[in-house]
Amino acid sequence: MDEADRWVLRRCRVRLVGELQVAALWDALLNRELFTPDMIEDIQRADSGSRRDQARQLIIDLETRGSQALPLFISCLEDTGQDTLASLLRTSRQAAKQDPEAIRPLDLKPVVLRPVSLKPKELRGEKQDPLKPSQGKLAPVVVGPEELWPAKLRPEILRPEAPRPVDIGSGGFSEIREYQKWAYVLNAEPCGHCLIINNVNFCHESGLRTRTGSGIDCERMQQRFRLLHFVVEVKCDLTAKQMVQALVELARRDHSALDCCAVVILSHGCQASHLQFPGAVYGVDGYLVSVERIVNIFNGTGCPSLGGKPKLFFIQACGGEQKDQGFEVASTSPEDRTPDSDPEPDATPFQEGPVTVDQPDAVSSLPTPSDILVSYSTFPGFVSWRDTKSGSWYIETLDSIFEQWAHCEDLQTLLLRVANAVSVKGIYKQIPGCFNFLRKKLFFKT
């Protein structure tokens, strides 16, 4: 969907949520193939399942349904007798197409978390904005069915449909302290460094198979993090010692002018003894580096310039050898695996003791794990599946979810979507999870 159509939906959202009769729309949406049956079920389960919640979720999801989604949706409204809303959208869409400049204020304006005093010059170019200044004040932004946001916004009431607040400060507003209390500010350009370690070819002595399909994962992550404004560096086929060296080198860089750091590791893995973070990943020489060691390289002592800034780790590796066959539920999703797919596990047995090239730090020297998020492709102890033709389930889904939702949702919400999507794949099952020690919400810069 292009920006003009997105603008129309967002501008009309309050009216749509208040008046849209969703029950009459399901068959029309299916007939025009705007949504699949599974998508309709997800919308119907949104929040409390009320009409307003379903309408809100429908409008959010509609933005992801392609370039013709809005005109098809207007036709569905006409077919179901909702002509007033159809006319509103059609008229707004024609106005946006005729005057592209009209959508710019809404695209550039950040969320205002409390009334802010504005100088007249800061209101220039806002004539198309529905928010009108009154006595030098700007009313809070209207989001969802609520008429006004409260003067003080608590982090937990931010809804997925809220405009992204990450660009606060770029639209002429200087007071961002309230925002900084509950969300990380990613304003630097570039946002930060992203290191991708892609281990594919393992030495014969390791007994580990070649990770066919991992190159696809690597390309996906490289492109995705570049779009998220990271400087991406890829290192392939590293030994355990080389992995540690690459991570230490990244941690020792000066990150003071940057806002974030990300590490993506694609390798074989296994269970390992731990105090903080479970699991370990293999170097191509067959030696292990614990996830705990990887994370601790970026603690306050090893990487002081990242103090107070989010440090993100994405681990595509098995957590063990158990194969999860799942359990039967009343309604299961359709098989997500293609007939000619060839999934492989990134697993090896539990390891403990001298085989590792590193040992966890002593308890007395363990850092406080603040501003850290570790996202695992699978639950500790279980296999993580990788298709030899299309890449791993976790990375493929992570990339897809980020593409669809990173513009409007925070990282934790994105990872919940990833977990839900991966959990319905394949004959064997897999459930990603994370250890979240972030202190605030994180919205990527898109």
Kindly report the three-state secondary structure assignment for every residue of the chain.
CCHHHHHHHHHCHHHHHHHCCHHHCHHHHHHCCCCCHHHHHHHHCCCCCCHHHHHHHHHHHHCCCCCCHHHHHHHHHHHCCCHHHHHHHHHHHHHHHHCHHHHHHHHHCCCCCCCCECCHHHHCCCCCCCCCCECCECCCCCCCCCCCCCCCCCHHHCCCCCCCCCCCCCCCCCCCHHHHCCECCCCCCCCEEEEEEECCCCCHHHCCCCCCCHHHHHHHHHHHHHHCCEEEEEEECCCHHHHHHHHHHHHCCCCCCCCEEEEEEECCEECECCCCCCCEEECCCCCEEEHHHHHHCCCCCCCHHHCCCCEEEEEECCCCCECECCCCCCCCCCCCCCCCCCEEECECCCECCCCECCCCCCHHHCCCCCCEEEEECCCCCECCEEECCCEEHHHHHHHHHHHHHCCCCCHHHHHHHHHHHHHCCCCCECCCEEEEECCCECCCCC
Mean pLDDT, residues 124-141? 45
Mean pLDDT, residues 360-379? 64
Whether pLDDT at 226 is above 90:
yes
* The pLDDT value given to residue 382: 64
* The pLDDT value given to residue 343: 62
The residue ranking higher by pLDDT, 445 or 326, is: 445
Confidence of residue 383 (pLDDT cuts 50, 70, 90): low
Whether pLDDT at 338 is above 70:
no
The residue ranking higher by pLDDT, 47 or 250, is: 250
The residue ranking higher by pLDDT, 61 or 425, is: 61
* The pLDDT value given to residue 264: 97
Whether pLDDT at 160 is above 80:
no
* 76 counts as catalytic: no
Whether pLDDT at 359 is above 60:
no
From 191, 260, 318, 434, active-site residue: 318
**Most confidently predicted of 169-173, 289-293, 338-342:** 289-293
* The pLDDT value given to residue 409: 93
* The pLDDT value given to residue 429: 66
Whether pLDDT at 201 is above 60:
yes
Whether pLDDT at 5 is above 90:
no
pTM: 0.55
Mean pLDDT, residues 155-184? 52
* 268 counts as catalytic: yes
User: What pLDDT, in 10s, does the model give residues 236-283?
Assistant: 999 999 999 999 999 999 999 999 999 999 999 887 777 788 889 999
Confidence of residue 341 (pLDDT cuts 50, 70, 90): low
From 193, 255, 268, 434, active-site residue: 268
